[in-house]
Structure formats: C-alpha cells, structure tokens
Amino acid sequence: MSAVVLFVLSCLSLLIWCVLLFARGGFWRARPAPPLATDGRDAWPSVVAVIPARNEADAIGEAVASLLEQDYAGAFHVVVVDDHSTDGTADAARAAAMQLQCPDRLTVMLAKPLPAGWSGKVWAQSQGIETVRSLGLAPEYLLLTDADIGHPADAVTQLVARADTEKRDLVSLMVRLRCDSFYEKALIPAFVFFFAKLYPFAWVGNPRNRTAGAAGGCMLVRRSALEEAGGIESIRSTLIDDCTLAALIKHRGEGRHSIRLDLAARSVSLRPYNNWQEIWNMIARTAFTQLRYSAWLLVGTVFGMVVIYLVPPVVALTLGPLGWPAWIAWAAMCCAYAPMLRFYGRSPLWAPFLPLVALFYVSATIGSAVRYWRGTGGQWKARVQAPVQER
C-alpha cells in the first residue's frame, strides 16, 4: 500500500477521532452519577426485584443476599426465576434467605418450559413478572437484575430516588465488571468503552435524543411505563433485551420519555472471566445481532474498526514523522480510553494497546456472524437462541 494511501487513511482516522471526542455525547467520560440525598423523605414506593437464573449456583447466593440486605425504607420483595437449572441454583437462593432469616421476602419459582419465539432470559423475566401478579403484589417499580450482580445496601434507595426525583421511567446501571485476571484487565475496560461509544450515556438520558440504551444487569423500570409499552412480552424474541427494552420505553406512544443510564460506582458483577475464550464468547453471543444479522453492516463495521483503531498505529510506525495525522489519532485514542482505564483502576500505559484489543473484538464479531450462518448463533447457557438463517 502506497504512502499516499496510508496518509489519507490516517487523515480519515484523525477526522473520525475528532468527531468521537467532540460530537459523540462525551461517551469517553467514565464518571458514575453522584449519589442523591435521601434524608427527610416520608414515603417510598414498593419495589419487586426479578432475577432470572439458569445454572447460577456459584453466584446467586451472594446476589440474593445483597438484595435482601438492602436498607430500602419501602416495601421490597425478591423473586428468583429458576430457569431449569441443574446445579442447585434454587437451593442456593433459598439458603441465602434462610441464612439472613428472611425467607418470607424471597419467592423462588420454576419457569415453565421455554416456548418457541422467546429468548431464554426474557421468558424467565416474564415468568417472574407473572409471579409478581399472582402474589397480589402491585409494585410501582420492577428491578430487573441478574443472578450474578452484587448490589450495595443503598442501591435500591438510590435507583428509586433517581427515578422519582428526575421523573425517569427507566434507570439503569452498567455495573462494574470483574477486572482481576490478566484477560479481564486487558479486555474488560474496552467492553464498557465500546458500549458507551455505541450508546453515549448523555444521549440516552436526553429525551430529545433518539438514542436509547440500558445495561441488563441492573434496570429499575416503572411498572406502568412497562405496561404502556406493551409489557415484557413485546421484546420476547430479542437477545439484546436491555437496549431493546430501553428503546421500547423511551419511544412508546408519540413522544420520547425520560430514561437514564450510568456507570455504577459500587454495584458489581460477580462473574469471573478467567480466560480469553470466555470474554470472546460473551462478545460473540450478540455482536452479529447488534448488526441485525446483516453481512453489509458486518463489512462496514470491520472497515470502520480498522480505520479507527488499527490505521493509527500501523501508519504511525510505518511512515514515522510523515504519518503525523496517525500519531495524533493514536494520541486521541489514548486520551479517550484513559478515563475508562482509570475507572477500572488500570494504568494509562494500557491505552496504546487499545488497537490490539479492538482487533480481538473484531474477531469475536466475525465469529458471531460465522456462528449465525452455521445456525449456532446466540449461544448462552447451552441454548442456541439466534433466529435460524433462512436458506
């Protein structure tokens, strides 16, 4: 490839980074929302947490305990939906409640068999919401959370205060993912960085902007808003259920409604990723779904990732000083990534290696497409959930 072509590509990359830094909602600012003052409030609305769980015995006890230990002043109940686990998930959940001496605040139910046309997680959530109705509970809010999430004692209080004070129909937190093993340190901060670039949090929280996003590990939803949007069954077949639900609630009716997405300071994922294959599979499960199973969007995404992340270091190291736009683009990339590294307690010296991490994510995205074309897309918990490709 000629030096002229490389120079032009580096100029294109630099232009894109200028747009990303200054016209993409400040997505790179990795700052959790400050806590709200909650003193002096008399009445708190009722909340029910719904946890879909399939083979989560290793984590669900801690997750359930963190919810049962909430210092929330209003009525609060936890429903665990055991989605045909084979590892004692239900028993682990009950044991956590018994240890805290509050079994009456926990309901564990077995999900019915998964019907055609439903994704597993959404089906389990629908079963949990139906159980809430059958128990005669009428909460103002539903907390849709995962079986591998640990919450601080004031999590529900802060979520409800945020929703009530700011009149939000959905408040979601991107919980702090595990970042202990080498592969987690190398790859996990980039996962949140790329997610925020795709769904800039400031745009999500702006009712005038069409962007809607949420993080499925922690979503507080106003029950009336969910019902107005058609209920959880409206997203029955989706694999990217969190962002689809956020769009459904934000865009319901003829207007745009208020939702919010933030980084969590203290809510954490309990799920470890001890090798690169586990992180690769996490990405590959839904990456091609995000591209609407389009080969053209896949080609465009790969080209875009190459120009944005790979061109700067390649051109800079190839052309030397003559590749000055590439050096500037690489520096801009490092500056954009540094706040997320800081949020995860990593050194900014990791930032120059983001192109290698991006290459890993590109490979997982291509792998996601290959799985779909082979009829094995959307693999999760021994289920293939992506729609079958028409031949």
pLDDT of residue 389: 58
How far apart CA 207 and CA 217 sit, in angstroms, is 23
The pLDDT confidence band at residue 136, using thresholds 50, 70 and 90, is: very high
In tens, the pLDDT along 249-296 reads 999 988 889 999 999 999 999 999 989 999 999 999 999 999 999 999
104, two tokens = 């009456």
Residue linked to tokens 């239900």: 90
Residue linked to tokens 């969590």: 264
Among residues 187, 11, 166, 150, the alpha carbon closest in space to that of 69 is found at 150
pLDDT of residue 255: 81
Give the Cβ contact number of residue 153 at 10 Å: 13
Q: Which residues are CB-contacts of 132 (< 8 A; sequence separation ≥ 6)?
A: 48, 50, 77, 79, 139, 142
The pLDDT confidence band at residue 339, using thresholds 50, 70 and 90, is: very high
The pLDDT confidence band at residue 384, using thresholds 50, 70 and 90, is: low
pTM over 0.85: yes
Q: Determine what percent of the chain is predicted with pLDDT higher than 70.
A: 96
In tens, the pLDDT along 3-34 reads 899 999 999 999 999 999 999 999 999 999 99
Output the average pLDDT for the chain.
Answer: 94
The pLDDT confidence band at residue 96, using thresholds 50, 70 and 90, is: very high
The pLDDT confidence band at residue 158, using thresholds 50, 70 and 90, is: very high
The 3-class secondary structure across the chain, one letter per residue, is CCHHHHHHHHHHHHHHHHHHHHHCCCCCCCCCCCCCCCCCCCCCCCEEEEEEECCCHHHHHHHHHHHHCCCCCCCEEEEEEECCCCCCHHHHHHHHHHHCCCHHHEEEEECCCCCCCCCHHHHHHHHHHHHHHHCCCCCCEEEEECCCEECCCCHHHHHHHHHHHHCCCEEEEEEECCCCCHHHHHHHHHHHHHHHHHCCHHHHCCCCCCCCCCCCCEEEEEHHHHHHCCCHHHHCCCCCHHHHHHHHHHCCCCCCCCEEEEEEEEEEECCCCCCHHHHHHHHHHHHHHHCCCCHHHHHHHHHHHHHHHHHHHHHHHHHHHHHHHHHHHHHHHHHHHHHHHHHCCCCHHHHHHHHHHHHHHHHHHHHHHHHHHCCCCCEECCEECCCCCCC
Q: Which residues are CB-contacts of 3 (< 8 A; sequence separation ≥ 6)?
A: 319, 322
304, two tokens = 């875009």
The pLDDT confidence band at residue 351, using thresholds 50, 70 and 90, is: very high
pLDDT at 382 over 80: no
How far apart CA 323 and CA 7 sit, in angstroms, is 6
pLDDT of residue 39: 83
The pLDDT confidence band at residue 385, using thresholds 50, 70 and 90, is: low
Give the Cβ contact number of residue 207 at 10 Å: 13
pLDDT at 390 over 60: no
Give the Cβ contact number of residue 38 at 10 Å: 16
The pLDDT confidence band at residue 391, using thresholds 50, 70 and 90, is: very low
